[in-house]
């Protein structure tokens, strides 16, 4: 094992602490490589991760953010999975700290079924295995990387994850809680605007899924569904045959008119009850927020995720 750390202009005692640990670890036979730069300003998460990788020499890469903690068996269990899945990103389950900080998100991270690690890549949650749990071969990372170095405001983990999927990579989760994943309001992830992530998600949906569908229905005639419709390219919008919902007021209205369209006449998209609509669906209803009602409605249609519907919210 080798520990590679990159110090991105930290203002605290990180370097002193690292030097103390360097001596302890190297006495135990674990080489420690510490890098950094002279600038007083951070260069960003993507740049730092790329530098930490470049200065290291291991055949496998085990990522850990500076504010998280990993369990002793993590490397052994994820290395075993990575040798069996050489073109996959290997993740794991997490324990959140504080425990009640992001309950829905933590459930999603830990409870996705193996096939959902590929079908739920379009949701607002981001990568289906979270970046602080990533483990992969250096060879595969070199094929799909590096991280985007645009700095603050760039979702470098999401962009690399999408590129990984474009190149045919798999996603595997070790079903053990191997990382203590800390939540705090100053985390770098909060510097990325929701609108930035939304744009990347819409473009990826248009690239990966919509070319294979001749027509589709948006499930949710409310704000999120209409926002998705307006965000689509003109060609993709023409494939939307209907919105569907359970809200009688929306259904009674009968249609959604896209007033900002440059087309004449303005596009009018029917609003149907979900049982009257036809798949495939792009679902813009947030999971785990309706007391199980939405999930029960979806299950009642006996559809196959990935083929008949995708989650986008």
Which of the four pLDDT bands, split at 50, 70 and 90, describes residue 288? confident
Query: Both tokens of residue 200?
Result: 């990347």
Asked if 309 contacts 298 with a C-beta cutoff of 8 angstroms, the reply is yes
Which of the four pLDDT bands, split at 50, 70 and 90, describes residue 235? very high
CB atoms within 10 A of CB 103: 11
Summarize the confidence of residues 171-198 as an average pLDDT.
90
Which H helix or E strand runs over 60?
Answer: strand 60-62
Rounded to whole angstroms, the Cα distance separating 33 from 160 reads 24
Instruction: Indicate whether 185 pLDDT > 90.
Output: no
Which of the four pLDDT bands, split at 50, 70 and 90, describes residue 289? confident
Query: Residues 307, 310, 144, CA angle at the centre, nearest 5°?
Result: 90
pTM, 2 dp: 0.95
Tens digit of each residue's pLDDT (9 = 90 or more) over 11-58: 999 999 999 999 999 999 999 999 999 899 999 999 999 999 999 999
- Beta bridge partners of residue 135, listed in sequence order: 62, 90
Q: What percent of the chain has pLDDT over 70?
A: 99
In sequence order, what DSSP letters do the residues of 33-58 get, joined into one string? Answer: EEEE-S-SS---HHHHHHHHHHT---
Phi, psi for residue 179 in degrees, rounded to 5: -135, 130
Tens digit of each residue's pLDDT (9 = 90 or more) over 57-114: 999 999 999 889 999 999 999 999 999 999 999 999 999 999 989 999 999 999 999 9
Tens digit of each residue's pLDDT (9 = 90 or more) over 82-92: 999 999 999 99
Summarize the confidence of residues 238-254 as an average pLDDT.
97
Instruction: Please give the pLDDT value at position 230.
Output: 97
Which of the four pLDDT bands, split at 50, 70 and 90, describes residue 189? low
Query: Both tokens of residue 274?
Result: 């979900």
Asked if 241 contacts 217 with a C-beta cutoff of 8 angstroms, the reply is yes
Cis-peptide, bond into residue 265, ω within 30° of zero = yes
Rounded to whole angstroms, the Cα distance separating 261 from 283 reads 23
Which of the four pLDDT bands, split at 50, 70 and 90, describes residue 188? low
Which of the four pLDDT bands, split at 50, 70 and 90, describes residue 190? low
Rounded to whole angstroms, the Cα distance separating 239 from 276 reads 18
Summarize the confidence of residues 163-178 as an average pLDDT.
98
Summarize the confidence of residues 233-259 as an average pLDDT.
97
Summarize the confidence of residues 246-266 as an average pLDDT.
94
Summarize the confidence of residues 149-174 as an average pLDDT.
96
Which among 254, 195, 183 is positioned nearest to 230, based on CA atoms? 195
- Beta bridge partners of residue 182, listed in sequence order: 97
């Amino acid at each position: 094992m080798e520990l590679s750390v990159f110090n991105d202009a930290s203002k605290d005692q990180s370097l002193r602490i690292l030097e103390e640990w360097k001596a302890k670890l190297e006495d135990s036979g674990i080489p420690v490589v510490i890098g950094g730069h002279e600038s007083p300003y951070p260069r960003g998460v993507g740049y730092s991760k790329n530098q930490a990788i470049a200065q290291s020499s291991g055949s496998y890469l085990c990522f850990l953010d500076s504010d998280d903690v990993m369990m002793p068996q993590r490397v052994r269990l994820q290395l075993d999975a990575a040798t069996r899945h050489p073109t996959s990103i290997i993740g794991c389950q997490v324990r959140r700290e504080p425990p009640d900080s992001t309950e829905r998100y933590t459930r999603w991270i830990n409870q996705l079924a193996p096939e959902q690690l590929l079908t739920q890549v379009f949701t607002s949650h981001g990568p289906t295995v979270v970046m602080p749990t990533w483990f992969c071969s250096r060879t595969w990372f070199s094929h799909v990387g590096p991280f985007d170095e645009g700095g603050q405001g760039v979702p470098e983990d999401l962009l690399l994850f999408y590129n990984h999927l474009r190149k045919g990579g798999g996603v595997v989760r070790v079903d053990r809680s191997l990382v203590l994943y800390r939540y705090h309001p100053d985390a770098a992830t909060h510097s990325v605007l929701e609108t930035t992530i939304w744009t990347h998600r819409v473009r990826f949906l248009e690239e990966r899924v919509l070319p294979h569908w001749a027509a589709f229905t948006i499930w949710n005639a409310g704000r999120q569904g209409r926002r998705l419709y307006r965000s689509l390219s003109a060609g993709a919008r023409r494939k939307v045959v209907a919105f569907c919902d359970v809200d009688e007021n929306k259904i009674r209205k009968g249609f959604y008119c896209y007033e900002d369209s440059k087309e004449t006449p303005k596009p009018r998209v029917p609003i149907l009850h979900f049982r009257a609509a036809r798949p495939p669906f792009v679902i813009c209803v947030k999971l785990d927020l309706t007391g199980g009602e939405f999930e029960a409605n979806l299950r009642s249609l006996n559809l196959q995720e990935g083929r008949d519907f995708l989650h986008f919210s």
